[in-house]
Structure 1
Amino acid sequence: MNWKAKTLLHKGVPRIAVYFEKNAALIARIKTFEDARWSASNKYWHLPDTEANRLHFKLPLAHTLVPNAEGIASIETFKRYLLSKRYSPNTINTYSEALKSFLTFCNTKAIKDISNEDVIAYNNDFILKNKFSSSYQNQIVNAIKLYFKIVKESSIEIDKIHRPKREKTLPNVLSKEEVLKIIDSTENLKHKTLLALIYSAGLRISEALNMKPKDIDSVRMLIHVKNAKGKKDRYTLLSEKVLQLLREYYTIYKPKDYLFEGQFGGMYSSRSAQVILKQVAEKAGIKKPITLHTLRHSFATHLLESGTDLRYIQDLLGHSSPKTTMIYTHVTNDSLKKIKNPFDV
């Protein structure tokens, strides 16, 4: 296999990047690795930074890569606990990997002897030293707090575990014209319908891909979003134009189980949808860094700019707290446009 591999941070998470020239056989082979993903912007495949993957790609092993025997057993217990609490598979995987990272750092200690000082040392000597993001650090804190709640004998004081200072970043938002450019530049009907639906209903990509045809209520002009984040159901808006697209799409593609299905059936891939957006955005001449979630951010911002009450936007997006929705007041330019620039006076 003619490849080159190296460890790196991908969006603040430790991964192994694999580079090789485009080749169907090599692509098929890399896809056999668990959680293998293609980064269209960086032009590499990336995999979890695990001992097995390091060995496969002949990368040096880190001495803290594996937890001790007690730690490995604890991670399995933690997974069963999360499963019994009905956490989503994605959350279980995220929290388990986060706990694994912390327990590998503490692999010379028994679980009962791990203390708050070890958490501080982990933050300083691993998180900060490797320049991991505060969101990744926050995932670790969530996992540690949740795990040590179920540990009978522990030296950890859960309430004294501090969180990283929140990064005050604002979401990237497209103008209405830019959204229309993207949708109009999408020639494939399935892709056009998917992107238009995500924007017009303010959906998370997981919500759009989990949707069934019966969730579209064309009589009430609503979309039933089921079992979304936090295991909550909600209703959101159904656009007249998107309804027309959906009817045309349904007539041609005739989806069986999910509204959007892959070439051979089953749920459509979120990775494929993300790649499609990148390609179409480039074709439309959009230079901003965007993801599928940018369409959801844009939906909320455009509603706010058109005068929609923040409480309604919160309901449409399915936010538990109004504080989450309030971020869109900082990206709308409706109020800013009313201010006369002193340079122009």
Structure 2
Amino acid sequence: MNLTKHITLKHLLINNQKMIGLQFYPDKVIQALIKELPNPKWSREFAMVYIIHTKENLNQVFEKFRGVAWINGNSFFKEKVIRDNEPVDVNRYRNRTKTASYKYVPEAYLLKLELKRYALNTCNIYISLFEKFINQYPNKDILELSEQEIRAYLQLLIHQNKSNSYINQTINSIKFYYEVVMGMPNRFYSIERPRKQQKLPQVISKEEILSMIEHTNNIKHRCIISMLYSAGLRRSELLDLQLEDIDSKRMLVFIRNAKNNKDRYSLLSETVLKDLRVYYKQWKPKKYLFEGVLGQKYSVESIAKIVRRAGEKACIRRRITPHILRHSFATHLLENGTDLRYIQTLLGHSSTKTTEIYTQVAVNNFKSIRNPLDL
């Protein structure tokens, strides 16, 4: 069945009541059938027809237009996948010493973050950015804030020269409250996001990485830097590694519950395996591969500090981060002739388009090109 007419469903909140918005191009057939729906009304603010959001009304929409128009409910029914992370502890936000002059994130916000099992880093970012937003309007109830006031706040961030990433994360933290916590999906679907910037990954040479490893005397720190590079790990993936994830027989590293809730395997270096065995005998970790003094999981700040200090000792001029080691892993594989699809698998990318960015920084692509000044 080839349906040329289509209707897009939108979540609307009008007078604090959930509505089903129906967005479509002007069409006499659709308009006639819309009038047969239960009490349809026109919203000047959203520029679309709407009806009250009930299960019965939603079923009527599908029944009414069956065989007549295609119903696009992609954004209407979309639900964020719950990651199977460990339970997130946000009690430190609950137990803060509170002052009357500051607006704190609602308890429902904290509870939903816990129930959704968002990564701890995401929780910290959302809470921080959402509190900055609501404190911009200290005398207004959160539910009374309009799209215009959100836009005004985003414009303020632009004037403060905040990055596109910062602004996008701010929008996510705001939408999380209205759409996920309060159950108003796509209430602010028309809020404009900054255009994505395509920044090339920062990469260092293999010689510089070897120098970083050589300048790290602590065996645990040496293994951390080596693992980040040799397996192309994200910082969070390194922290989540457990002892049984190191498969020395198959020379693989098992990465569980990585980004987008995916498991994958990556490479285990023979050189790193030797260091890991020395490290294990000295430190005897119980559960996680890298643990703190009291057996708890290492912190993200500690990993960043270890990598940064190693870069400084190796006299690398730029500031080195764990992700630069991951970028370098992918780029060096590509320069050595590894198929892009294998690199995609090792990195855990969902699409080759994400991995293709490394073709722009792999130097072997440029070595065959003669500079016109030298011709």
* TMscore range, shorter length: 0.7 to 0.9
Distance 1:197 1:113 in 2: 49
RMSD between aligned residues: 2.7
Change (3 A) 1:114 1:156: farther
2:106 partner SS: helix
Structure 2 residue runs of 5 or longer lacking an equivalent are 1-89
1:268 partner SS: coil
Match in the other structure for 2:168:
138
Match in the other structure for 2:25:
none
Question: Equivalent residues in 2 for 1:310-325 (5 A)?
Answer: 310-325=340-355
Instruction: Choose which of 102, 119, 129 in structure 1 pairs with 2:150.
Output: 119
Change (3 A) 1:342 1:209: same
Describe the superposition over 1:151-198 as per-residue Cα deviations: whole angstroms up to 9, x where unpaired: 769798422011112233222101111111111221221111111111
Letter of the structure 2 residue corresponding to residue 209 of structure 1: L
Identity across the alignment (%): 46
Match in the other structure for 1:128:
158
What's the CA shift for 1:335? 0.7
Check the 8 A contact 2:179/2:185 in 1, yes or no: no
Match in the other structure for 1:196:
226
Change (3 A) 1:160 1:298: same
TM-score between the two structures when normalised by the length of structure 1: 0.74
Change (3 A) 1:269 1:139: same
Distance 1:325 1:253 in 2: 36
Instruction: Choose which of 117, 141, 144 in structure 2 pairs with 1:110.
Output: 141
Change (3 A) 1:184 1:293: same
Letter of the structure 2 residue corresponding to residue 318 of structure 1: G
2:260 partner SS: coil
Describe the superposition over 1:189-248 as per-residue Cα deviations: whole angstroms up to 9, x where unpaired: 111111111100001122112211111001111111112223321111111111111112
Check the 8 A contact 2:252/2:265 in 1, yes or no: yes
Instruction: Choose which of 327, 333, 337 in structure 1 pairs with 2:357.
Output: 327
Match in the other structure for 1:75:
106
Is residue 2:293 matched to residue 1:257? no
Instruction: Choose which of 291, 294, 302 in structure 1 pairs with 2:324.
Output: 294
Distance 2:292 2:183 in 1: 48
Distance 1:290 1:153 in 2: 41
Match in the other structure for 1:205:
235
Distance 1:250 1:112 in 2: 53
Letter of the structure 2 residue corresponding to residue 123 of structure 1: L
Match in the other structure for 1:22:
none
Distance 2:127 2:281 in 1: 43
Letter of the structure 2 residue corresponding to residue 104 of structure 1: N
Match in the other structure for 2:248:
218
What's the CA shift for 1:340? 0.3
What's the CA shift for 1:52? 6.7
Check the 8 A contact 1:205/1:293 in 2, yes or no: yes
Letter of the structure 1 residue corresponding to residue 160 of structure 2: N
Distance 2:217 2:109 in 1: 46
Check the 8 A contact 1:114/1:155 in 2, yes or no: no
What's the CA shift for 1:108? 3.0
Distance 1:271 1:169 in 2: 24
Check the 8 A contact 2:179/2:187 in 1, yes or no: no
Match in the other structure for 1:99:
130
Distance 2:271 2:132 in 1: 47
Change (3 A) 1:155 1:233: closer
> Computing the radius of gyration over CA atoms, which structure comes out larger, 1 or 2?
2
Is residue 2:315 matched to residue 1:279? no
Check the 8 A contact 1:114/1:156 in 2, yes or no: no
Task: Choose 212-221 or 272-281, whichever is displaced more.
Answer: 272-281
Question: Equivalent residues in 2 for 1:37-48 (5 A)?
Answer: none
Structure 1 residue runs of 5 or longer lacking an equivalent are 1-34, 36-47, 56-62
Task: Choose 324-333 or 288-297, whichever is displaced more.
Answer: 324-333
Check the 8 A contact 2:202/2:327 in 1, yes or no: yes
Task: Choose 277-286 or 179-188, whichever is displaced more.
Answer: 277-286
Letter of the structure 1 residue corresponding to residue 102 of structure 2: V
Distance 2:286 2:186 in 1: 50
Change (3 A) 1:95 1:320: farther
Check the 8 A contact 1:314/1:325 in 2, yes or no: yes
Check the 8 A contact 2:208/2:316 in 1, yes or no: yes
1:160 partner SS: coil
Distance 1:214 1:75 in 2: 40
Describe the superposition over 1:129-152 as per-residue Cα deviations: whole angstroms up to 9, x where unpaired: 322222111111112223222476
Distance 1:144 1:267 in 2: 30
Distance 1:201 1:152 in 2: 41
Match in the other structure for 2:374:
344
Change (3 A) 1:265 1:210: same
Is residue 2:215 matched to residue 1:185? yes
